Structure 1
Amino acid sequence: MATFAKRTFNASVYSSFRPTYPKKLFKDIFEFHRTGKDVAVDLGCGTGQATTELLGHFSTVIGIDPSQPMIEAAQAKHKDKGISFRQGSSEDLSAIIPDDSVDLVISAQAGHWFDWEKVWPETSRILRKGGTAAFWTYAEMRLSEYPFVTPLITAYAQGKDLATSLGPYFERPGRTVLENMLTDVPDPSQMESVMIHRGGLAHFERRYFSGPHFPAHLPPPSPTQIKQVAMQLNMRWRDLLGYFRTWSALQNYHERFPEDLNRVDERFPEDKLVEGLDSQTGQVNVDVSGGDIAVRFWKDLRGEVRKHGGSYGVDELVSVEWPIALLLAKKV
């Protein structure tokens, strides 16, 4: 993904404000896998957020990412934890991973950038018999207590207006695959290029941790595929702004409109700039000053919540949830 490979990309900020993956998700993956605890590989590992969840379950853990800044951040953050981080492409692992040598392959929030015509065969090549592939992504966020702001979120993230929406600045088709909850990803059990690898990935299934809020623009899955929402986080409003600042499209937007960084938004004059770390949580205190597009969107959300009597102060908590799409495959 080109934005994350840029030297201007701040991997540390990205790591600080991205939500963590729920234990429930890993529990489901490990129960599906069951066999083989020697080698696990995380494709598109980023700063190693999901990679560390494999420690204690597998003897050898390897994280692979095409972005050198991401790999450097992962190595610094997880130094001495016993994880091997390597720069490489998920589409061609031949220089890193030999045939039939891996028990579990995972990928968290990276699969929407994959060339699946290459990644599925490569996954089948490196997996041992009985090995598992588990690839997932989370899609557009919701504010659990304030569903009435969902149209604002959709307009900001998926709109087409070049000046008011980040929609045109996400890299496509990757972002579209994410918005479509990986429904565009082909079934590997139907791909001849996959099945030639010693049985291939003959068992394949999709699971959606979305509860009743499966995206309305997609064909509804079967009831057995729908699981309860598993990824939910109570965060301060200022931390939610920090999350908005990790969106790849925001960097692309500011390259197009650098003057936007100098905008001022005078709404919520009571907001205070607090530097350093929060004394209770240890979290970085996000700069809430300024008026760029991310701040304006953030204030739009808070303004709508205020109208409905909700909590909107920068240090008050807001409940955020993300629907997850999980692809599971097994080499038989």
Structure 2
Amino acid sequence: MGKAGRVACIFTPYVLTIASLVCIILVGLGCTNASSSTLNNLYFLRLDLSDLSTGSATTSKIEDLLSEAHITSVSADEISQTIKKFQDDANIADFYDIGLWGYCKGDTTNGKDSITSCTEPKAQFYFNPSSVLGVSEEQLDKELGDDFPKIMKVYKAVSKWMFIAYLVAFIATAAQILVGIIAIFSRWGSCVTTIVSIVSFLFTLAASLTSTIMFSIAKGSLGSALKIYGVEVDLGKNIYAATWLAVVFSLAATIFWMFSTCCCSGRSPYGHKDRYNTRGGITAEKAPYTYEPIGAAHPPFGTPQPYTPQHGYSTSYPSPTHGNAPMNSNNQHSSAYEPFRHA
């Protein structure tokens, strides 16, 4: 197929790898820039406190929610006091969006959400509601039930693993783009790139699974507990679309990299043209200064057709005569060899 075919064979997985890297970068950039409307829509989880600020929760409603959540460690009056404290705190935002590196907070005006600020990106970030809301952990543990501290402990540990998985996926995918350049020249390069691509796919898949499962559980478990305060918990859509597109692109790139290890060698088919004849057999070239029978390839002048040379290097044919007398008794003579064949 040649070098041109090799480049065409590498082009598809190369583009897929770049697409996967772009999706991972979008996941990492979510909730990092308050002035970007595109990046503001990339979040794993949103805590909506807009109903909390309006004071729509009544005592009877709080009692019903406590019974539904099976929380007996706190009374409805204590919950009402906590809600009033949140309402009086001007630092409490209408909603909080949780990303990979940090979170953003914003206000809702006339049904329109606007981000006011975002935290500085931090490695191995996890959202701590007690520090954000200005409430002690003991109070949250008491008001949200016995399961809340267990959930937060698991969430903190899994968040660190999720961050590491996304970081390794990003590094492996970027390395895959660089290593993919050598895949243009040989199948060995494709083999090395395939190994890097497998690592990239596995960590991208692990990170996507971790984030999806973890925040889905958080929505189900925390949603019912925080509903007592009028807090709604919602999952983001765009960031999950980006992370799973990264998985799809990474898987497709890995398959095509594997395909390039056994196809599209990059060697020109014309490099062996002189060694093979048109029927695919091997034609032995005649080296200079070698012996060959004079009549092996062509019959002597005047020989009747068809002419079929005998096996070996001896050829029998009627010998020329001088008059009526034969030159030898057997009317045969041995094949003559020219001493040297000149190139």
Q: TM-score, normalised by structure 1?
A: 0.24
| Structure ID, larger Rg | 2
Q: Which has the higher contact order (CA 8 A, sep 6+)?
A: 2
Q: Identify the structure with the greater strand proportion.
A: 1
Q: Identify the structure with the greater helix proportion.
A: 2
Q: TM-score, normalised by structure 2?
A: 0.23
